[in-house]
Amino acid sequence: MLVLIALPFVLAAALSGPNEPRAAEPIHRGFAGSATCATCHALEAYAWQQSDHARAMASASKVNVLGDFSGVTVTDGRHTASFRREGEDYVIRTDGKDGLVADFIITETFGVDPLQQYLVLFPDGRRQALPWAWDSRAREQGGQRWYHLMPDEPLPAQDPLHWTGRAQNWNYMCASCHSTGLQRGYDAASDQYGTTWAEIS
């Protein structure tokens, strides 16, 4: 009787074959990157790449910079700046954090339509948003010109709203919405940033 009861279990074990564990596929945890998503979602990735959101922040290059950097000088009565090219660099000449006029190399564009701002990277890791914006609308709509974002404010160098001040700091004010995988890397002791990200937009 015991043999009859055990027989189905013995047969089931023999028919199922050896119990070899299957190799587990490694699981990647964390940010995979938009290129990984695009392998399955090509149409969505293409639509995203053409959007103003995807192009909201980019490296300063011939493809991305919309403003006139042909050596023009602009003023609104209170503020003055000039814009030119030096080789591959885009340069603005305006007042710096010490109040003195100097040249600053633009490292990133910020925005596409209807305006484009520009960022300057300082040696302490800060990316600062310039107060001059390029109106990227068509000329017949009043665009294709430089204008100051706060023309009625005197904005001395010590003012937090001055473009070199804390209120215009990309690392603190803008980075969380315009980057993925953000590490601000702020060091309070030295008052410097070592900001990193996986992707910007």
Q: What mean pLDDT comes out for the span 126-134?
A: 97
Task: Output the CA angle 2-7-13, nearest 5 degrees.
Answer: 135
Q: Which two tokens stand for residue 155?
A: 């904005």
31 located within any domain: no
- Give CA–CA dist 63/59, Å, rounded: 9
The predicted pLDDT at position 15 comes to 56
Q: How many domains does the chain have?
A: 1
β-strand partners of 116: 134
Other C-beta atoms lying within 10 Å of the C-beta of residue 174: 18
Q: For the purposes of burial, counting CB atoms within 10 Å of the CB of 91, is it exposed (0-12), middle (13-18) or buried (19 or more)?
A: middle
- Give CA–CA dist 28/160, Å, rounded: 42
Residue-range definition of the domain harbouring residue 147? 54-200
The predicted pLDDT at position 95 comes to 96
Q: Is the pTM of this model over 0.75?
A: yes
- Give CA–CA dist 129/170, Å, rounded: 7
pLDDT tens digits, one per residue of 56-106: 899 999 999 999 999 999 998 889 999 999 999 999 999 999 999 999 999
39 located within any domain: no
105 located within any domain: yes
**Average model confidence (pLDDT) for the chain?**
89
38 located within any domain: no
The predicted pLDDT at position 16 comes to 57
Q: Which two tokens stand for residue 85?
A: 């090219």
Q: Which two tokens stand for residue 171?
A: 């690392």
The predicted pLDDT at position 59 comes to 96
32 located within any domain: no
The predicted pLDDT at position 48 comes to 87
pLDDT tens digits, one per residue of 131-159: 999 999 999 999 999 999 999 998 999 89
Q: Specify the DSSP class assigned to residue 167.
A: G
Q: Specify the DSSP class assigned to residue 140.
A: G
42 located within any domain: no
Name which residue leads in pLDDT, 145 or 199: 145
What distance, in Å, lies between the first and last C-alpha atoms of the chain? 74
If phi > 0 it is left, if psi is from -120 to 50 it is alpha, else beta; for residue 24 that is beta
113 located within any domain: yes
The predicted pLDDT at position 10 comes to 53
Whether omega for the bond prior to residue 114 falls within 30 degrees of 0, making it cis, is yes
103 located within any domain: yes
The predicted pLDDT at position 1 comes to 54
